[in-house]
Structure 1
Amino acid sequence: MQTMLSAQHQQLLAKAQQAQTHAHAPYSQFKVGAAIIDDNSQTHFGCNVENAAYPLGQCAEATAIGMMVVNGGKRIREILIASPNDEFCSPCGGCRQKIAEFADKNTLVHMATQQGEIKTVVFSDLLPLAFGFNKD
């Protein structure tokens, strides 16, 4: 579904895009930003950080989740992923499972293109049978 962004969501997009500018992506050149609204209505954001030893890199979603946890957040209410191009960038499989750890089936996942077009889905549409995912 396409959505119009509220002021809060515009701020979420701005934070994800701000983080995106700091992405360390010398290998793929695919700079991603992510921003989360947690259970305390706080915003946390992060970017992807690549590493020459490929499996040691970190996605933007994982960075944002780590920031949420460091700042005392326990649950993801909404997450936005900012793509570096005009395609929607959905979370990879590993990040879907990481999100599942802190989300519920109705958590909103917003995917934004570089031009600011937004697609929103509920989390259960991205990972319907998540490992250990039994929250309401």
Structure 2
Amino acid sequence: MSDLELVRAAIAARVNSYSPYSNFAVGAALLCADGSVYGGCNIENAAYSPGNCAERTAFFRAIFDGHRDFTAIAVVGGPAGEPISELCAPCGVCRQVMREFCDPATFRILMGTSPDAFVEATLEDLLPYGFGPENLGH
């Protein structure tokens, strides 16, 4: 799947956002090593903390289906019902979830405003000195 298609899938996933409290709709599309793609959207809750980000929704769906090898994720977001005008980076919690399953040096994060307008960073760029399973000394 091309980067353009992955960003397009994130834009499509954003439509399903449930964000009545923040009115900030986020979509994500996670590319697995086997080429399969999992979409995710943010899902808010009146109690706030039970909500879930789009990136984690995509990861948890893929993990539930048995995937453990990921190559990239596209993330888009902005005020619900409006065109995307600014880049939306993953929050710290989402970066930590990515760190659990992905090689920080090679896992790519695409943050876009349209399929042909995005920036790319590695997880290592966004989460330097990240804490991973190898830090537990097992």
SS at match of 2:24: coil
> Judging changes above 3 Å, is the alpha-carbon distance between structure 1 residues 16 and 115 closer, same or farther for their aligned structure 2 residues?
closer
> What amino acid sits opposite 1:75 in the alignment?
D
List 4+ stretches of structure 1 deviating above 6 A: none
Query: How far has the Cα of 1:114 moved from its partner?
Result: 5.0
Query: How far has the Cα of 1:118 moved from its partner?
Result: 0.1
Query: How far has the Cα of 1:14 moved from its partner?
Result: 2.0
Q: Give structure 1 stretches of 5+ with no counterpart.
A: 1-6
Normalising by structure 2, report the TM-score.
0.86
Map of 2:63 onto structure 1: 69
The answer on whether the counterparts of 2:4 and 2:116 sit within 8 Å (CA) in structure 1 is no
Q: Could you report, residue by residue, the CA deviation over 1:20-77 in whole angstroms, capped at 9, with x for unpaired residues?
A: 0010000011000000111212111110000011111000000000111122210220
Map of 1:100 onto structure 2: 99
Query: How far has the Cα of 1:124 moved from its partner?
Result: 0.1
Map of 2:126 onto structure 1: 126
The answer on whether the counterparts of 2:26 and 2:41 sit within 8 Å (CA) in structure 1 is yes
* Aligned partner of 2:75 among 53, 56, 81: 81
Distance in 2, matches of 1:38 and 1:82, equals: 18
Distance in 2, matches of 1:28 and 1:22, equals: 15
Map of 2:112 onto structure 1: 112
SS at match of 2:22: coil
Question: Percent of aligned positions with the same letter in both sequences?
Answer: 36
Map of 2:52 onto structure 1: 58
Count the aligned residue pairs.
129
Measured on the aligned residues, the alpha-carbon RMSD in Å equals 1.8
Normalising by structure 1, report the TM-score.
0.87
The answer on whether the counterparts of 1:79 and 1:109 sit within 8 Å (CA) in structure 2 is yes
Q: Give structure 2 stretches of 5+ with no counterpart.
A: 79-83
Larger strand share, 1 or 2: 2
SS at match of 2:120: strand
* Aligned partner of 1:28 among 22, 26, 46: 22
